[in-house]
Amino acid sequence: MLPAYVPNNAAVLLGGGRPIDAGRTLEDARVLGDGKTWRGAAAGTLAGITLALALNGIAPAVVTATGLVLPTFPPAAIVALPLGAILGDTLASFLKRRTGRSRGAAFPGLDQLDFLLGALALTALAATAWFTATFTPGVLAVVLVLTPLFHVTANVVAYRAGLKSEPW
């Protein structure tokens, strides 16, 4: 899941600049808001792709050293996991603006799952055979429970470190 986790963090660290919605509004609210930028989306996606390639690179050595059975990422999943995470996060901002929440407002549940559902959905579409072989029901259950916990922890750490203006 790491290629789906790192895009949000990379966007926080490297994002900013021109907003994706270019300031446009829809029914008196921003389409996405200033928190969704081209640079954040591009840096996040590239960071996830880079990490997936690195994990593919070290997988044989890790398997030899530990005996663990590790998946490697096919090209479609290398792109779909991070791009899906960014699209999920962007879609969540669209929904937050449509429900009257301003930039940075919390949307419990959606904030913790948007990127995960985006990553899983796009990967299921783009790399279907790999997705079904890798994300067995047990793996999916663990991922759906642990990801929100990781997300909450990472955001509290980023908030305390002064990288994010809200702890969610």
Residues found near ligand CTP in the complex (CB under 6 A): 11-12, 15-16, 33, 35-37, 40-41, 89, 93, 96, 103-105, 164
* Residue closer to ligand CTP (CB basis): 6 or 89: 89
* Residue closer to ligand CTP (CB basis): 17 or 60: 17
| Residue position matching structure tokens 């919390």 | 106
Cβ contact 77:131 at 8 Å: yes
Least distance (Å) from ligand CTP to the CB of residue 43? 8
Least distance (Å) from ligand CTP to the CB of residue 13? 8
Least distance (Å) from ligand CTP to the CB of residue 137? 29
**Residue 81 neighbours by CB distance under 10 Å:** 29
Least distance (Å) from ligand CTP to the CB of residue 161? 13
* Residue closer to ligand CTP (CB basis): 82 or 164: 164
* Residue closer to ligand CTP (CB basis): 36 or 120: 36
* DSSP state, residue 37: B
Range 124-132, long-range pairs (CB < 8 A, 24+ positions): 125/80, 126/76, 126/77, 126/79, 126/80, 127/74, 127/76, 127/77, 127/80, 130/71, 130/73, 130/74, 130/76, 130/77, 131/77
Least distance (Å) from ligand CTP to the CB of residue 164? 6
- Strand ranges (E), 18-168: 25-26, 29-30
* Residue closer to ligand CTP (CB basis): 3 or 40: 40
